[in-house]
Each structure stands twice: as C-alpha cells, then as structure tokens.
Structure 1
Amino acid sequence: MEREKIVAIANDFLINEFEVDGDEISNDAHFKKTLGLDSLDYIDLVVVIESNFGIKLGEADFKDIITFNDFYSAIENKIAQKNA
C-alpha cells in the first residue's frame, strides 16, 4: 500500500472516529498531544487500525511514535512485514 493512501485512510479515521481537528494533523505534529487519547482510546485506535489496515500495532509500537510521520511509518512498516 502506498504511503499516500495510508496517510489518507489514517487521517480520515482520526478525524471521524477520534474527532481530531484535521488542521492539527501534520507530519511533524506531536501525535499523542494532538490526539489527547486516554488508555481506552488507544484500545479503540488499535481496533480501528486493525480494521482499516489488517495489522495490529502493539504497546511497543506506540512507544516509538512521537509524530504523525512516525505513526504513518509504523503502519507502513507493519504492512510491509505482513506482506513479506
């Protein structure tokens, strides 16, 4: 899956499911601060990622996510691992 498609799908569910202001989403924006998610929201996020991309991001994956760019890269890498 191309990165542009990953970004489009991810941004769509972040805006619609998690009510993030689309204007606040940028590659360099701080992922966790922008989303303001609690621990239950992260569970929902994992479920939404799995339903949209067929992959599962675990707790260790989220520790490495600082920016939205990191988030997209984590999804991209998991998809690549799945398809390898």
Structure 2
Amino acid sequence: MTKDQIIEKVNYFLIDEFEADEDDITPQANLKTTLELDSLDFVDLVVAVESNFGVKLVGDDFTNVVVLQDFYDLIERKVN
C-alpha cells in the first residue's frame, strides 16, 4: 500500500467515523485536538486502524504521534 493510499484511507475514516472537518485534516494538524479525542476515542481510533488496515496497534505505538503526519507514518510502518 502506498503512502498516498494510506493517507486517503485514514482521512476517509477520520471524516466518516470521527466526524472530523475535512478542512482541518492536514499533515501538521494535531491529532488529539483536531479530532477532539479523549481516551475512549483513542480506543475507537485503534479499532478503526486495525479494521481498515489489518494491523495491530498498542499504546506504545502512539508515544511519538502528535500530528497527523506522525499517524500516517505509524500506519505506513505497520502496514509495510
């Protein structure tokens, strides 16, 4: 899966499942504040990634994830 495919798929489920505003989804947007995520939302985010990409995520995977670009990179590493 290419980086562009990953970004497209992530953006789609962020808009569809998390009701994120499409205009707010940029590579430098803060993941937590842009999506207004609380701890339960992070669980939903992990489930969404696992179901959309067939990879497993653990809490430590999010240690260095601050902006959406970090999130895209995390998924790319897990997928590839």
Structure 1 partner of 2:28: 28
Give the structure-1-normalised TM-score: 0.90
Amino acid at match of 2:33: K
> CA shift at 1:41, angstroms?
0.9
Unaligned ranges ≥5, structure 1 = none
Structure 2 residue 9 is the aligned partner of structure 1 residue 9:
yes
Give the percent of matched residue pairs that are identical in Structure 1 and Structure 2: 50
Cα deviation, 1:9-66, whole Å, max 9, x if unaligned, reads 0000000100100100101111111111111111111111011000122111112101
Unaligned ranges ≥5, structure 2 = none
Structure 2 partner of 1:50: 50
**Runs of 4+ that moved beyond 4 A:** none
Cα distance in 1, alignment partners of residues 39 and 66 from structure 2: 16
Structure 2 partner of 1:38: 38
Secondary structure of the corresponding residue to residue 43 of structure 1: helix
